[in-house]
A and B are shown apart, each in its own frame.
Chain A
Amino acid sequence: QVQLVQSGAEVKKPGASLKVSCKASGYTFTTYGINWVRQAPGQGLEWMGWISAYNGNINFAQKLQGRVTLTTDTSTSTAYMELRNVTSDDTAVYYCARGYKKYYHMDVWGKGTTVTVSS
């Protein structure tokens, strides 16, 4: 079945970088894109960005531009999200979610990766 499997929970110190992976299976990886969405404790969903697994086209949320890098590895059907210079405001559950195009719905979600930023 179609699924996205994310990497495990991480604890980071302020100023560090974090990298979350999202391995896709059950479909042709390059046919779709991958969205990254995060949810701070007790808060709503925040869209971070979208990357096309077909051609690498990327859209970022403006507030994160300059700190976030999205990549894909088509040989392993894996998407990556790297966030630099993290602060306590980046403490959240990070989700990857499949999206055909940047303005499409997100039809398959990973289970989430919990990231805690603490000194």
Chain B
Amino acid sequence: QSILTQPPSVSGAPGQRVTISCTGSSSNIGASYDVHWYQQLPGTAPKLLIFGYNYRPSGVPDRFSGSKSGTSASLAISGLQAEDEADYYCQSYDSSLSGSVFGGGTKLTVL
């Protein structure tokens, strides 16, 4: 059971917009710690996608965006493309555990 809760899977057709939720608690997201998002393609290391409020590393398309409200955060992907098919993870810091925590991951399928 992960400290941050994500849906196991989401899907969408090419060109559509999908969102992936990440639900935490008052000791992590609700405590104003930043939420970060990673994309993991099959057989590869995770790659930073969104960090902080809604910042994208160089090279990440603006189709990817992040938001946060209360004890939850979301990753939105617009203009879905076949290459977006991957696993997505949220990450934050938990003050009770004094360490970083990951969500369980969400598998995105592009139909």
B100 x A102 contact (CB < 8 A)? yes
- Inter-chain CA distance A49–B100, complex, in Å, is 8
- Say yes or no: is B2 at the interface (Cβ < 8 Å to chain A): yes
Interface string of B28-43 (1 = CB under 8 A from A): 0000011010101000
Q: How many residues of A contact B (CB 8 A)?
A: 24
Chain A nearest CB, measured from B38 CB (Å): 8
Given known contacts A44-B89, A45-B105, A102-B93, A107 and B99 CB-to-CB distance under 8 angstroms: no
B74 at the interface (CB under 8 A from A): no
Closest residue of A by beta carbon distance from B87: A44
A45 to B44, CA, bound (A): 13
Is A11 an interface residue when CB atoms closer than 8 A count as contact? no
Partner of B101, one of A47, A60, A95, A110: A47
CB within 8 A of B99: which of A44, A59, A105, A110? A59
Chain A residues positioned under 8 Å from B97 (CB to CB): 61-62
Q: Chain A residues with Cβ under 8 A from B33's Cβ?
A: 103
Contact mask for chain B residues 77-111; partner A; CB cutoff 8 A; 1 contact, 0 none: 00000000001010101000111111111000000
Interface centre among A35, A50, A102, A109 (most CB of B within 10 A): A109
Q: Is B48 an interface position by the 8 A CB rule?
A: yes
Number of B residues near A (Cβ < 8 Å) is 27
**B2, B44, B48, B87: which contacts A105 (Cβ < 8 A)?**
B48
Question: In the bound complex, what is the Cα–Cα distance between A106 and B87 (angstroms)?
Answer: 16
Closest to A101 in B: B93
Shortest beta-carbon distance from B98 to chain A in Å? 6
Q: B residues within 8 Å of A by Cβ?
A: 2, 33-34, 36, 38, 40, 44-48, 51-52, 57, 87, 89, 91, 93, 97-105
Contacts A103-B100, A106-B36 supplied; 14 other A-B pairs, CB < 8 Å? A44-B102, A45-B46, A50-B100, A59-B99, A95-B46, A102-B93, A103-B33, A106-B46, A106-B48, A107-B48, A107-B51, A107-B57, A109-B46, A112-B45
